Each structure stands twice: as C-alpha cells, then as structure tokens.
Structure 1
Amino acid sequence: MLFKVSMTVRLPHTMPREEADALKTREKALAQELQRSGKWRHLWRVAGRYANVSIFDVADNTELHDLLLSLPLFPYMEIEVEALCRHPSSIHDDDR
C-alpha cells in the first residue's frame, strides 16, 4: 500500500545541540536504510521548513505505524498520513 506522509519536526529549543545532532544522525541512517529497502519510496524536503513529504510503500497501516514509531525523531514530529491509490487516468502501469 502507498501512503503519503507529511512530517514536521519540532525539536525543543532547550534540547542540547549534541543531543539534537545525535538524533538527526540516527534518523538519517534509518531513513536511508528504509529507502534502500524500498519501503520509503520518495523523500522531499519542504522548502523553508523543517519538514518533509514522503511516499511509503508498505504492506498495511500497521507496518506504516510501526515504521513511523521507530523513527528517532518521532517524539518531536507532527505527522499527517494519507492512503493513496492509482488514479484511473494515470498513464503509468506501475506505482512510480
């Protein structure tokens, strides 16, 4: 199943820089691992914000939920999820 996920990160201003940097490093490593596995299909930065729009390709809602919970920055994120399905006017035969 494909899902569009919008994530906005709001780290506390009081968080020590070293702690924030460590979280970001762990987040990047996991995000890249999930992209290589094909589960995190697309990742775009939202210009001017600490936010992204992503496309996930997972088996079901539960897998997406568990994946999002595993993100190191999850406790500091506002997340919006939308399920996607093929549009009948699409000229593509796959989900690219």
Structure 2
Amino acid sequence: MLFHVRMDVHLPHDLPPTEAAEILAREKAYSQELQHSGKWRHIWRLAGQYANYSIFDVRDNEELHAILSGLPLFKFMDIEVAPLLRHPSSIRDSDA
C-alpha cells in the first residue's frame, strides 16, 4: 500500500546540541535504511520549513505505524497520513 505522509519536526529550543546531533544521525541512518529497502520510496524537503513529504510503500497501516513510531524524531513530529490509490487516468503502471 502506498501512503503520502507529511512530517513536521519541532525540536525543542532547549534540546542540548549534542543530543540533537545524535538523534539526527540516528534519524538519517534509519530513514536511509528504509529508503534502501524500498519501503520509503520518496522524500522531499518543504522549502523554508523543517518538514517533508514522503511516500511509503508498505504492507498495511500497521507496518506504516511501526515505521513512523520507530523514527528517532517521532516524539518531536506532527504527522499527517493519507492512503494513496493508483489513479485510473495514470499512464504509468509503476505507480501502483
């Protein structure tokens, strides 16, 4: 199943820089592992915001929830999820 996910990050201003750097390093490694596996298909930064739009390709809602809740930045995020279906007018079979 494909999901469109918006993630807005709100790091606390009083988070020690060394702790923030450690969390961000873990976040990058985790997200890149998921990208290599094909589960995190796309990620785009939103210009001027600490936010992204991502496309996930996972088995079901439960797998998506496990992935998102496993993000090291999860407790600092507002997340919106929308399931996606292939549009009947799409000319690309790979959009499934």
1:49 correspondence with 2:49: yes
Tell me, yes or no, if structure 1 residue 72 matches structure 2 residue 63: no
Q: Which residue of 2 aligns with 1:14?
A: 14
- How far apart are residue 15 of structure 1 and its match? 0.4
Return 5+ residue gaps in structure 2 as ranges: none
3-state SS of 2:95 partner = coil
Aligned to 2:88: 88
What residue is the counterpart of 2:23 in the other structure?
Answer: 23
**Offset, 1:39:** 0.1
Q: Deviations over 1:12-66 (max 9, x none)?
A: 0010011011100000000000000000000000000000000000000000000
Q: For residues 25 and 49 of structure 2, what CA distance do their matches in structure 1 show?
A: 19
- Counting matched residue pairs gives 96
Q: Give the 4+ runs in structure 1 shifted more than 4 A.
A: none
Deviation at 1:95, TM superposition (A): 1.8
Query: What RMSD, in angstroms, separates the aligned Cα atoms of the two structures?
Result: 0.8
Partner of 2:94, secondary structure, is coil
**What's the CA shift for 1:94?**
1.6
Separation in structure 2 between the aligned mates of residue 93 and residue 36 of structure 1, nearest angstrom? 21
Q: Which runs of 5+ in 1 are unaligned?
A: none
**What's the % identity of the aligned pairs?**
64
Q: What letter corresponds to residue 70 of structure 1 in structure 2?
A: G
SS in structure 2 at match of 1:94? helix
TM-score normalised by length of structure 1: 0.98
